[in-house]
Structure 1
Amino acid sequence: MRTLHIITGLGIGGAEQQLRLMLRHLPTSSSVVTLTNPGPVARGIEADGVPVIHLGMAGNRDLGALPRLTRLVRQGRYDLVHTHLYRACLYGRIAARLAGVRPVIATEHSLGDAQIEGRPLTSGARALYLAGERLGTSTVAVSPSVARRLEEWGVRRSRIHVVPNGIEVARFAFDPAARRAAREQLGLAPDAFVVGGVGRLAVGKRFDRLVRAVAALPDARLLLVGEGDQREELLRTAGECGAADRVLLSGRCEDPPPAGAAPDTLTLPSLLAAMDVFVSTSPDEAFGLAVVEALAAGLPVLYVACPAVDDLPPGSAPGARRIGPSVPELTAALREVRRAGGARLPQPAAVRRYDIAAGARQLMSLYENAVHGTPLPHEVSCS
Structure 2
Amino acid sequence: MKVLHVITGLAAGGAEQQLRTLLPHMDCASEVAVLTAPGVLADAIRAGGSPVRVVGMDGNRDLRALPRLTALMRAGRYQVVHAHLFRACVYAPLAARLAAVPAVVATEHSAGARHIEGRAVTAPIRSLYRTATQLTHAVVAVSPTVADRLHAWGLPRSRVVTIPNGVDLSAFRHDPRAAGLARARLGIPPEAFVVGGLGRMVAGKNFHLLVEALPHLDGAVLLLVGDGPELPRLRLLAARLGVGRRVVLAGESAHVPELLSAMDVLAAPSQEETFGLAVVEALAAGLPVLYGSCPAIDDLPPGTAPGARRVPPHRLTAELAALLAGPRTRLPPPPGLDRYDVRRQARRLHDLYDRLLTRHHQERLT
Question: Equivalent residue of 1:40, what SS?
Answer: coil
Who is 1:323 aligned against?
Answer: 311
Shift in alpha-carbon separation, 1:67–1:183, aligned structure 2, 3 A: closer
C-alpha distance in 1, partners of 2:82/2:271? 29
8 Å CA contact 1:195–1:214 kept in 2: the answer is no
Q: Which moved more, 1:303-312 or 1:213-222?
A: 213-222
Q: Which of 288, 292, 299 is the equivalent residue of 2:280? A: 292
Aligned residue pairs total 360
* SS of equivalent residue, structure 1 residue 37: coil
Q: Which residue of 1 aligns with 2:364?
A: none
The letter of the residue matching 2:167 is I
SS at match of 1:27: coil
Matches within 5 A, 1:19-38: 19-38=19-38
Determine if the alignment matches structure 1 residue 337 to structure 2 residue 319: no
1:224-263 mapped onto 2 (5 Å cutoff): 224-254=224-254
Partner of 1:276: 264
**Cα distance, 1:11 vs. partner?**
2.2
1:368 to 2:344 alignment: no
Does residue 347 of the first structure (1) align with residue 306 of the second (2)? Answer: no
- CA drift of 1:184 comes to 2.6
TM-score (norm 2): 0.94
- Tell me how far apart the structure 2 counterparts of residues 349 and 200 of structure 1 sit (CA, whole Å): 28
Conserved 8 A contact 1:102-1:137: no
Secondary structure in 1 aligned to 2:309?
strand
Structure 2 matches for 1:139-150, cutoff 5 A? Answer: 139-150=139-150
Q: Which moved more, 1:109-118 or 1:342-351?
A: 342-351
Query: How many Å separate the matches in 1 of 2:195 and 2:51?
Result: 38
What residue is the counterpart of 2:168 in the other structure? 168
Q: Which runs of structure 2 are paired with 1:1-383 in the superposition (5 Å)? A: 1-254=1-254, 267-326=255-314, 329-373=315-359
Deviation at 1:5, TM superposition (A): 1.2
The answer for unaligned runs of 5 or more in structure 2 is 361-366
State the alpha-carbon separation in 1 of the partners of residues 183 and 42 from structure 2.
Answer: 29
Structure 1 CA distance for aligned equivalents of residues 205 and 161 of structure 2:
27
1:177 Cα deviation from its structure 2 partner: 2.2
Structure 1: gaps of 5 or more residues: 255-266, 375-383
Shift of 1:342: 4.0
Structure 1 position 373, deviation (Å): 3.7
Is the 2:66–2:91 Cα contact (8 Å) retained in structure 1?
yes
Q: Give the drift of 1:121.
A: 0.7
Whole-Å Cα distance in 2 between the matches of residues 359 and 132 of structure 1? 24
SS at match of 1:24: helix
Q: Deviations over 1:324-356 (max 9, x none)?
A: 123xx1111112222332421110023222111
Q: What CA distance in whole angstroms lies between the structure 2 residues aligned with 1:269 and 1:193?
A: 18
Q: Deviations over 1:27-86 (max 9, x none)?
A: 111222111112222222222222222111222222222222222212221111111111
Aligned-pair identity (%): 53
Matched position secondary structure for 1:314:
coil
With 278-287 and 221-230 compared, the bigger mean Cα shift is at 221-230
Per-residue CA deviations over 1:262-309 (Å, capped at 9, x if unaligned) read xxxxx3222111111110011111111111111011111000011111
Shift of the alpha carbon at 1:187? 2.5
Q: Could you tell me whether the CA contact under 8 Å between 1:33 and 1:53 is conserved in 2?
A: yes
